[in-house]
A and B are shown apart, each in its own frame.
Chain A
């Protein structure tokens, strides 16, 4: 018994040290210091909820939350439609299906920072040239306004992540029994009917998985934001993640930034737990 415990703890020591020193202790430490005037090294005063009261009155922080929420809603809807659409496309018996999977997935392997720079070129130079060529004024000056910056980020994210969501839907689509589809065909159901009554209900769990992933991804996005718009113009496209980094390392307000980070954690955790709850409830029903 005693002997058994020694190896158990030896096997766990490295990861406990890793998680403890990198995640758990900083998390607790940060939570405590968010109530003080901590400057990153020392704290002299306990301030209570002062930072928390201030951050809710700060326009920049609130607008970054609002921007992130809008972004999350749009990208979650868009990514799920695109992901399912692409998955339906490449699971058909076409010659190019493997090649297409490879192509659609490719952007996921390249970092968000690099992709953001590439798309900055597309939006600024290529859009501009196409706009001039065809006389479409709306294509000019992209990323220089709040709304074009928003849609620029949406387009970049949709293009990057759709292939990832596609992979999830493919996994579920390929698990649908073939004879179910065949039986429906024999019964005379057309493509739309088959999709509505068989395919769609059976890939519904994939929707739960991908909604969780897309939501948390949309809330945590940073690199793409930094390299595509850098939060501009006038911080109007700055998402929460970037707002926290800026407050901490550009404005040097460590405790205040940490209070924002705590709020950020609560938002992400509530979304994730709501998802899990929703998921579990549905599993019981099934």
Chain B
């Protein structure tokens, strides 16, 4: 069952080929077999089997939806009532939330079965899943390589067929980049499309939750289950959630206007196999009737430096709540209040988190605010205006998701700026609040290559339709690594 999509598993459950309890048991066994991937931080077998029993009962009553009885996993950044939520950090040692995140509530209500919480870069800060307090995740295609980050545990779990889908969050590319590096499909929705309530905050004007799965059709099913208005997140948009899956059938790549940014094509440091896979993918779309044209995003090159001012600034503020007083890690025998704060934070946070807090503190400090933070927000507007101009003449923008395939574990760990450039093609999307997805588009040296498609605000339906159309033409999304390694 492990190589089936949500849509296929739903049909198997419907036809009585298996029950959700059987499917959940098989899922938990497979996760144990693949323990060396380190994809999970916490497993919840007892509650999963109880949820599966409830799903089977709902199905027997004729109340099943597309997610009823389907095993999924949540990135450990989503609060789960009664289940440890660590955000990949020692700082949240012993934290068991008394409530569910909106996304968890929604998917639970849709009948999905939560089997556990996936590993991630600490506080979602990283592009390789090497900054987790719980150790690095391995890429199932090559266990010596990273799975990408920060949703690397979710990506590895889906890629190796441990679960058909998982949740992720994307602040600068943290769904799309690991999706690309592990050969799965991952969608970052429009900012505000999915409530951020109950997600441990990193950079509030950029964070967005989204689905990771093995096909565009499954992303559509998951997004429909996750999205919706929630008054508890003041940045969440009150707008009806379309039936994204139904929209797939209505979207045709014929006549689709696809923009290729020359800045992405001409960018330095892009692997040859990535370039050729992306070229082949856009050629396949053209042959299927899409109209492909070159466009320009002149400020795209500034996206990474803008991000590395804004995201750390927001993080330094959001992470100030972890002070050793209220919950989470607390140092031993503090001498005074300042010592309590400093040592709790110094011992509880890992190096990348400390680095970003310090960059953010510096950028917001008196005398530097205008030069860094205000300047970054001005350039952010220019980046957004580039996209707005582009969408006057195209429906979607295509390009690589990541400049390289999965890189070796440890190879960029000591060079933060090089690591930051892993997200060079994804970050601008977060700055502009746009939806974007990554789908598999080939291989380079045995490792997956991702194709990124970017859409205009709230045009997830069109994006998923384009991705689904591409997946009807190719079978890259059907390729699976061996879990046995």
Q: Is B a genuine binding partner of A?
A: no
Q: Which residues of A line the B interface, CB within 8 A? A: none
